[in-house]
Structure 1
Amino acid sequence: MNRLKALRKEKGYTQVKMQMLTGIDQSDYSKIENGKRYFTLEQLKRIAVALDTSMDYLSGLTDERKPYPRRQS
């Protein structure tokens, strides 16, 4: 999960801030970030939105950080 940690630090966010932005408990987020636990699809979506990137980038499927255009709700 090097990309996840690198993006979080780049944004200047702490794991507690990520908890507030995503609703994922800080201890669970830490385990995800350190590769001790896998994220669910819903968690991946929330993290991608919080870090302004794509789910594909976070999961290593692309090197393009830019998020996809989002639908207006």
Structure 2
Amino acid sequence: MELNEKLKALRQERGMTQEQVAAKLYVSRTAVSKWETGGGSPNLDLLQALARLFEVSVDELR
């Protein structure tokens, strides 16, 4: 499973919207959408923040 698929699955499992994820990470909803569709990737700081948010390791996201 690719990063974009993992992010979307984790978000949906936790019942969160893209807007909620974006607000917690101080990014735009568009950024979250791009990550989930494979149109871009979060930088290392945001990848770490996503791991903390979803309570998984960075390695699990990769």
Where on the TM-score scale, by shorter chain, does this alignment land: which range?
A: 0.7 to 0.9
Asked which structure has the greater RCO (Cα within 8 Å, sep 6+), the reply is 2
TM-score, length-scaled by structure 1: 0.75
Q: Residue 52 of structure 2 aligns to which amino acid in structure 1? A: V
Match of 1:27 in 2: 30
Q: Percent identity?
A: 32
Gap runs ≥5 in structure 2: none
Match of 1:15 in 2: 18
Give the paired residue count.
59
- What is the rounded CA distance, in whole Å, between the counterparts of 1:5 and 1:16 in structure 2? 13
Match of 2:57 in 1: 54
Point out the structure with max Rg over C-alpha.
1
How much does 1:48 deviate? 0.9
Runs of 4+ with >4 A deviation: none
